[in-house]
């Protein structure tokens, strides 16, 4: 079963269960997937495309949570956090900070990276090794720290 099929099945299930928040979040996700399919001129999306859309939506939720927290809108923060949890459930388990730090160390050593000028090369390699299972913000901070830049 592809990720897209799982999302469609979960949508039907949430509709039957009358779970309003879950239905709304998955409905929005399905809409974004349809836009992506139209853009790519595909009938069915591959799991990598679905994961890319999920990451975009997760980033949007994280940004919203940050903004709503600054604006003291805790009701909206809770709603966004709940939607974030629903969306994250479709992605593979993220790597922990220790695992990402270990990969960063390996890549920096293998690439012989010494300065911030090497950051782009190191980031590209780390992202390839983690296969999208690491938070990009965390990865960036760890690489910056390792290369002696300000985090």
Per-residue model confidence as pLDDT tens digits over 56-96? 888 889 899 999 999 999 999 999 999 888 888 887 777 77
End-to-end CA distance of the chain: 41
Rounded to whole angstroms, the Cα distance separating 133 from 138 reads 11
Length of the chain measured in residues: 151
Banded model confidence at residue 151, pLDDT cuts 50, 70, 90: very low
Average pLDDT of the residues of the chain: 83
CATH of domain 97-146: 1.10.10.410
User: pLDDT tens across 27-62, in order?
Assistant: 988 888 888 888 888 888 787 788 888 888 888 898
> Domain 3-88 in CATH: superfamily?
Uncharacterised protein YqeY/AIM41, N-terminal domain (1.10.1510.10)
- Token pair listed for 25: 């979040």
DSSP string, 42-59: -SS--HHHHHHHHHHHHH
Q: State residue 120's pLDDT score.
A: 80
Per-residue pLDDT, 73: 92
What would the two tokens of residue 55 be? 């990451």
Which range of 12-16, 103-107, 121-125 scores highest in mean pLDDT? It is 12-16
Domain ranges of the chain: 3-88, 97-146
- Sorted by sequence, the CB contacts under 8 Å of residue 80 that are 6+ apart come out as 61, 64, 65, 68
d(CA 77, CA 89): 18
Give the model's confidence band at 132: pLDDT under 50 very low, under 70 low, under 90 confident, else very high: low
CA-to-CA distance for 42 and 55, rounded, in angstroms? 20
């Amino acid at each position: 079963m592809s990720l897209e099929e799982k999302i469609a099945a979960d949508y039907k299930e949430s509709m039957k269960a009358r779970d309003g928040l879950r239905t709304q979040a998955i409905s929005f996700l399905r809409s974004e997937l349809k836009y992506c399919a139209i853009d790519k001129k595909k009938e069915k999306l591959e799991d990598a495309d679905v994961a890319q859309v999920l990451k975009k939506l997760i980033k949007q939720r994280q940004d919203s949570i940050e903004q709503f927290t600054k604006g003291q809108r805790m009701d909206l923060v809770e709603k966004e956090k709940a939607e974030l949890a629903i969306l994250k459930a479709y992605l593979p388990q993220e790597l922990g900070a220790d695992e990402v730090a270990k990969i960063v160390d390996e890549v920096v050593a293998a690439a012989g990276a010494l300065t911030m000028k090497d950051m782009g090369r190191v980031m590209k390699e780390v992202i390839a090794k983690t296969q999208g299972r690491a938070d990009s913000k965390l990865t960036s901070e760890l690489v910056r720290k390792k290369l002696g830049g300000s985090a």
